[in-house]
């Protein structure tokens, strides 16, 4: 069933959410944070399903006469199923994104614009069509520009009846502090490498050695690992590492060409940057805890490359990659960002 049980390694967040459901007191606004691919979106959908699951044939009707008006908590309502059935009409509609009262907001381009939030606010002035509890899921919430964030703040300050918001983000620091303060913050941790390996081996038939490499490159993200599994990423990783290892010896035109080449595949760029970061991390770890490196099959190459650079320089290179990741999230020009990053990484 597509409920909480399908989310791995997130026992604490799921325990918090199921407690809300079982007690029947749900915060008006929830903030789900954590890296991409750890189950935040799936948990949001499962929570929306549980709020409206009608597996007993009657539904769960809120008691709005006892409303407690606070900044964070809604009215107490009748307890709801901690695990949605996945089969009732409501659950099926939510799974197929066809439920009129489960509203999803996503970036339009690099940003969530004020017009999107205004449209949402207008929709929230009306009663839910068929749901007992309307749920709004705002993906990549950090993409709201300041105007959009301020418009959403008005909803958080005076939440409509029978409505709960879930903000999902990798970068909560990019949200307005006043938005964060009005949400119940639930943190999703990176998935353990061991559990990602297990999924790749048990469910996708990958051999254990390759599963270990891909799980290491995924950096705690199951969705990233699954994407790498289907895209020949071990060979891509080897090519990337070879290019990184030879950056300082290349002329400027070759470096710019490498940066341009990286920028041309927008879909794979997040994974490319994570692989680069994991490589630089291994060069750092080799100096202090060599048994903790991610790319275990490249131990000799890592040892040799690590000796060429100081700890301070390696940390500076990791910061360069992280800054580039942040700039790309903010909508910067991909080619310019990648060329600038490559030129900086080439410095010794």
pLDDT value at position 67?
39
- Measuring CA to CA, how many Å separate 230 from each of 2, 39, 130, 187, 226? 22, 20, 40, 28, 7
Average pLDDT over residues 202-213: 90
Count H helices and E strands in the chain, helices first: 15, 7
pLDDT value at position 246?
86
**Domains defined along the chain, listed by start:** 4-187 (3.40.50.300), 231-345 (1.20.272)
- Measuring CA to CA, how many Å separate 16 from each of 59, 186, 230, 286, 306? 22, 8, 34, 38, 43
The CA distance from 178 to 242, in Å, is 46
State pLDDT tens for residues 74-128.
Answer: 544 556 667 888 889 999 999 999 999 999 999 988 899 999 999 999 999 999 9
Has residue 70 got a pLDDT over 90? no
Has residue 314 got a pLDDT over 50? yes
pLDDT value at position 48?
94
Per-residue confidence at 203, pLDDT binned at 50, 70, 90? confident
β-partners of residue 169 are 33
Q: Are 245 and 258 spatial neighbours (Cβ–Cβ below 8 Å)?
A: no
Q: Are 164 and 51 spatial neighbours (Cβ–Cβ below 8 Å)?
A: yes
Q: What are phi and psi of 222, to 5 degrees?
A: -70, -40
Average pLDDT over residues 125-151: 94
Residue 209 φ/ψ region, left for φ over 0, alpha for ψ in the -120 to 50 degree band, beta for the rest: alpha
State pLDDT tens for residues 174-184.
Answer: 999 999 999 99
- Measuring CA to CA, how many Å separate 223 from each of 37, 48, 51, 167, 200? 5, 21, 26, 19, 11
State pLDDT tens for residues 216-252.
Answer: 888 899 998 998 887 788 888 999 999 988 888 778 8
Per-residue confidence at 6, pLDDT binned at 50, 70, 90? confident
pTM of the entire structure? 0.84
């Amino acid at each position: 069933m597509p409920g909480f049980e399908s989310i791995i390694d997130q026992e604490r967040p799921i325990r918090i959410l199921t407690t809300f459901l079982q007690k029947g007191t749900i915060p008006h606004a929830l903030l789900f944070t954590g890296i991409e691919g750890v189950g935040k979106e799936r948990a949001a959908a499962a929570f929306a399903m549980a709020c409206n699951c009608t597996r007993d044939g009657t539904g769960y009707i809120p008691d709005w006469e006892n409303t407690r008006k606070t900044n964070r908590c809604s009215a107490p309502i009748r307890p709801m199923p901690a695990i949605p059935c996945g089969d009732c009409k409501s659950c099926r509609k939510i799974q197929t994104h066809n439920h009129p009262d489960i509203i999803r907001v996503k970036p339009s381009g690099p940003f969530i614009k004020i017009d999107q939030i205004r449209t949402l606010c207008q929709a929230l002035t009306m009663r839910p069509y068929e749901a007992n509890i309307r749920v709004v899921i705002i993906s990549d919430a950090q993409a709201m520009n300041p105007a959009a964030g301020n418009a959403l703040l008005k909803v958080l300050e005076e939440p409509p009846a029978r409505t709960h918001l879930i903000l999902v983000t990798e970068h909560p620091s990019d949200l307005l502090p006043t938005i964060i303060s009005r949400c119940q913050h639930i943190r999703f941790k990176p998935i353990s490498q061991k559990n990602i390996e297990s999924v790749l081996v048990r469910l996708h038939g990958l051999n254990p050695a390759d599963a270990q490499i891909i799980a290491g490159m995924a950096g705690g993200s199951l969705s990233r690992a699954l994407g790498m599994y289907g895209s020949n990423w071990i060979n891509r990783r080897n090519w990337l590492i070879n290019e990184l290892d030879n950056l300082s010896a290349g002329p400027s035109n070759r470096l710019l060409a490498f940066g341009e080449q990286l920028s041309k595949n927008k879909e794979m760029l997040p994974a490319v940057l994570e692989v680069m970061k994991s490589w630089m991390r291994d060069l750092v770890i080799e100096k202090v805890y060599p048994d903790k490196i991610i790319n275990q099959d490249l131990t000799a190459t890592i040892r040799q490359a690590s000796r060429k650079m100081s700890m301070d320089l390696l940390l500076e290179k990791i910061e360069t990659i992280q800054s580039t990741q942040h700039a790309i999230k903010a909508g910067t020009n991909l080619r310019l960002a990648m060329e600038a990053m490559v030129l900086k990484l080439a410095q010794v």
